[in-house]
Structure 1
Amino acid sequence: MRQQIRVRRPAALCGTAIAAVLALSVPAQAAPADDHAATQKALNAFQAQTGPGAGVYAGDHTGSWHLSAGTGTVNTQQPIQPTQHFRAASQTKTFTAAVVLQLVDEGKVSLDTPIERYLPGVVDGNGYDGNKITVRQLLQHTSGIPTNNTPQPKPSPDGTYTLAALVRDGLRLPPASAPGTAWHYSNTNYQIAGMLIEKVTGLPVGEVITRRIIEPLGLRETTLPKAGDRSLPAPYVHGYKGGRLGPVFLWVDATKDLEPSLFNSAGAMISTQQDLTTFDQALLGGKVVSPAGLAQMRKTVPVGGGGDGYGLGLSSHNLPCGGTAWGHSGSAPGYISMTLVTPDGRHASVLTNAQIESPKMVDVLDSALCEQTALRGD
């Protein structure tokens, strides 16, 4: 469930049993290739390095279009569609941050108040002091809590996980830096934010996100699954684990591998490219949090070279054609995705159905978003 704007090492590949062999090389196209040739080329190159299939859903205020490469189900010709469900993973974080900002708007939470005031004793010990870590630092990943690449929380008797167990597991790792001094992407930050939401509202965080964001925006294809529910609603994109055997890839279905409570408010959401785009457009359009709250979400810190940044649950990405796009990425067993929108109405959402990272994902997003600028002659 790691943020994907920066290029990172490839995820681990392969499983012990092989389900099927990918034998598809011709990309399925859902829009005329001549209309979006550069983006189709970028998508093909991305898919060649990632999963059995890939898709991009893009457009501007005049309309939307989508392209695909490969397949959403191995051994078939079923291109990925923007209305199919998949695990949105860390795109969940933008929803969680938006709820916290709504609570800020309502005067129930303060961004620069230490988390200790809301969750006494939760962030404590092993070098941590909740009196020195603010709500803002949690949402911005500047709390000093490190990335936990090998989560080992203690499960409940039914095999699911509580937010408290996730947070305790994340805090078993010593701080990576002093609060406010460096950026370290960490699911633990957003699991603490989930606990904050539950403490302030008295309701499960999934129910709060549903009541405050999903239902008001009419995101009918977006859900936060209950603990223990590993299913995806139909229609869905099959997610895969894969490994190279000589010149071919072998794929194992990983669609139901993830126990959603293992990530909870940091990355359990199931959605579609269309719904995620609708949400990001509503957020950037001022329909989710107040103008002041949105301004806080868009205050970024650097996350590496290239000028990209991270705010409060929002990533910023500088486009090669000028301007900035906003959104988030997600990585979960079987899926990698990213959705970006611009203030002038352009949007692009990319998905592949294997957890194999590639820097070419950003190439697809840049092409789709900048294509609209080129067509207008800007």
Structure 2
Amino acid sequence: MLFSVVLNGCLLSPEQPDTTVPWWSFTKTVLAAATLSLVRDKLIDLDRTVPEGPFTPRQLLRHEAGLADYGELADYHAAVARHETPWSAEDMLQRLDASRLRYAPGDGWRYSNVGYLYIVRLIERTTCLSLEEALNQRIFAPLGLSRVRLAKTCADLANVNMGSTSGYDPGWVYHGLLTGPLAEAALCLDRLMAGQLLPDSLLRQMRTVHALGGPLAGRPWTSPGYGLGLMQGGVSSGLILSGHTGAGPGSVVAVYRCVQGEYTASGAVFHDVDNEGAVEAQVVERLSATLATHR
């Protein structure tokens, strides 16, 4: 297990800080921040429908667009396990019958990676840049992060700690797979939530959640919710966490931030297990211990 913690903006000594890991679905938080930077610059409207369907960027970012998810396809998981060449995005959308909405946009909630594929297309269309160029320009350079990369081929993962799997093709992650040191993941979230990129009005909207009910079995959440690219809610220790968990073949990463009085703490944990709840519990433990030590 690897971990990294930031306290009041200062990086504490992490274990193996130079190890590069897949950020899995923490990538969604970065994509949401990039989208909100376009709103900040008045280039898009969060509540105007996009060409891909009768839904808005806000609904896509909050998983309220009515879209299904390719993770529901047994053929998808089988193809990944067999190390097949990734399907094209259009082939995937056709297999999923993605044009058929599962509910009217805004009337429900359903986690969907497809929605974030459409967010990527919105970012690239609006900026006239590749996704990697747009993220470097709008997120990583402003936040002072230099070691985050977008993995596009198997070769891009050659020096990445992929946990207990090997030979993974990042093309199977249709919204893109960011990789980087855990320390930069923790710093990225910490600086974003501290207001170093977006105005308070947009951060408030990012943290406004769709409540997802009560406690989740096997996970530390007591009041889970989902905002704009942000998992947020109370956990069993009493803290309120904001961030994202990500899972892929062979590993889980969890990156979260909390505020307690005059202290802010951000933590990132990476483990070569397939248990999201166990890794989230490690983040809660690390953050709780850090805050307790510095009270």
* TM-score of the superposed pair, with normalisation by structure 1: 0.66
Q: For 2:272, which of 353, 356, 360 is the aligned residue? A: 353
Secondary structure of 1:231 counterpart:
helix
Secondary structure of 2:135 counterpart:
helix
Distance 1:239 1:371, change over 3 A: closer
1-structure distance, mates of 2:19, 2:32: 25
Q: For 1:329, which of 239, 245, 248 is the aligned residue? A: 245
1-structure distance, mates of 2:205, 2:37: 12
Indicate yes or no: 2:124 matched with 1:198: yes
Deviations 1:180-228 (A, max 9, x none): 12211110000000111111111222221122112332322210123x3
2-structure distance, mates of 1:168, 1:202: 26
Number of the residue aligned with 1:41 = none
- How far is the alpha carbon of 1:168 from its aligned partner? 4.6
Q: Does the CA-based 8 Å contact 2:114-2:174 persist in structure 1?
A: no
Distance 1:169 1:100, change over 3 A: farther
2-structure distance, mates of 1:360, 1:290: 34
Indicate yes or no: 2:188 matched with 1:271: no
Structure 2 unaligned runs (5+)?
77-84, 215-221
Number of the residue aligned with 1:237 = 161
Indicate yes or no: 2:29 matched with 1:103: no
Deviations 1:128-179 (A, max 9, x none): xx23x12111000011112322275xxxxxx566555554554447433221
Number of the residue aligned with 1:82 = 17
Q: In terms of Rg, which structure is larger?
A: 1
Distance 1:105 1:170, change over 3 A: farther
Alignment size in residue pairs: 277
Q: For 1:372, which of 284, 290, 295 is the aligned residue? A: 290
Number of the residue aligned with 1:256 = 167
Q: For 1:186, which of 112, 117, 139 is the aligned residue? A: 112
1:223 alignment partner AA: R
2-structure distance, mates of 1:299, 1:337: 23
1-structure distance, mates of 2:290, 2:197: 26
2:205 alignment partner AA: Q
Secondary structure of 1:269 counterpart:
strand
1:325 alignment partner AA: L
Q: For 2:5, which of 58, 65, 70 is the aligned residue? A: 58
Deviates more, 1:84-93 or 1:57-66: 57-66
Indicate yes or no: 2:43 matched with 1:113: no
Distance 1:278 1:163, change over 3 A: farther
Runs of 4+ with deviation above 6 angstroms: none
Paired-residue identity, %: 26
1:301 alignment partner AA: H
Number of the residue aligned with 1:72 = none
Distance 1:277 1:375, change over 3 A: same
Q: For 1:207, which of 130, 133, 158 is the aligned residue? A: 133
Alignment of 1:10-89 (within 5 A): 54-61=1-8, 64-66=12-14, 81-89=16-24
Deviates more, 1:159-168 or 1:279-288: 159-168
Deviations 1:53-110 (A, max 9, x none): x22222523652446xxxxxxxxxxxxx232111111111111111111111111111
1:285 alignment partner AA: A
Number of the residue aligned with 1:143 = 65
Q: For 1:92, which of 27, 37, 42 is the aligned residue? A: 27
1:57 alignment partner AA: S
* TM-score of the superposed pair, with normalisation by structure 2: 0.84
1-structure distance, mates of 2:174, 2:145: 19
